[in-house]
Amino acid sequence: MSVYQRPVKLFWWLEKRSYVIFVLRELSSVFIAWFVVFLLLLVNAIGDGAASYQTFVDWSGQWWVVAINVIAFLFVLLHTVTWFALAPRAMVIKMRGTRVPAQGVVAAHYLAWFVLSAVVAWVVLR
């Protein structure tokens, strides 16, 4: 008896909105890796002195580098938002016998994010 197997298209994820968002979320990891490269270039530039740091700032001020970093920033935000949204599904935390509601877990993540970002900004900009 011959059964029928529906073939899977190469770009199966273009067929549904939720799949597209999923693949974009996964691709955000590429921009996380880009950030690490950018960070190491920055560290190298700072370590080589004021002149090399200034050269780096000038280079990263060029329109195409800013464009890459703006796009990267949007993807990194996508990563953060989706990561926090999914966190309560992976961790079940109980306090005094009852399960912490999902919004509580998400809120704690955003609070930590805000506090950490404020600390980093203060350290860098003071």
Partner 1 sequence: MADEITLEVARYRPGVDAEPVMQQYQVPLREHWAILDGLTYIKDQLDGTLSFRWSCRMGICGSCGMTVNGEPQLSCATFLTDYAPGPIRVEPLRNFPVIRDLVVDIDDFMTKLPTVKPWVIRDVDEPVEAGEYLQTPEELDDYKQFSMCINCMLCYSACPVYSLDQDFIGPAAIALAQRYNLDSRDEGAEERRAVLTSPEGIWACTFVGECSAACPKGVDPAGAIQRYKLTAATQSIKELLMPRIKR
Partner 2 sequence: MNHRRSPEPFLWMLFSSGGMVAALMVPILLFLFGIAIPLDLWSPAPAHLLAVLRNPITRLVLFGLCVLALFHWAHRFRYTLYDGLQLKRYAGPIVVLCYGGAVVGSVIAAALLATV
Residues near partner 2 (CB under 8 A) are 8, 10, 13, 23, 26-27, 29-30, 32-33, 35-40, 42-44, 46-47, 49-50, 53-54, 57, 60-61, 65-66, 69-70, 72-73, 76-77, 79-80, 83-84, 109, 112-113, 116-117, 120-121, 123-126
Q: Angle, to 10 degrees, between the axis of helix 17-47 and the axis of helix 50-60?
A: 150
- 38/100 with CB nearer partner 2: 38
Tell me the HSE value of 21 on the side-chain side, using a 13 A CA sphere.
Answer: 6
The four Cα atoms 109, 110, 113, 117 give a dihedral, to 10 degrees, of -170
> C-beta of 125: minimal distance to partner 1 in Å?
36
Interatomic CA distance for residues 63 and 52, integer angstroms:
19
- 3/90 with CB nearer partner 2: 90
Does position 110 bind partner 1 by CB under 8 A? no
Phi and psi at residue 99, to the nearest 5° = -75, 135
The secondary element (H helix, E strand) that includes residue 71 is: helix 63-90
Residues forming the site for partner 1 (CB under 8 A): 1-6, 8, 12-13, 15-16, 18-19, 22, 26, 86, 89-92, 97, 99
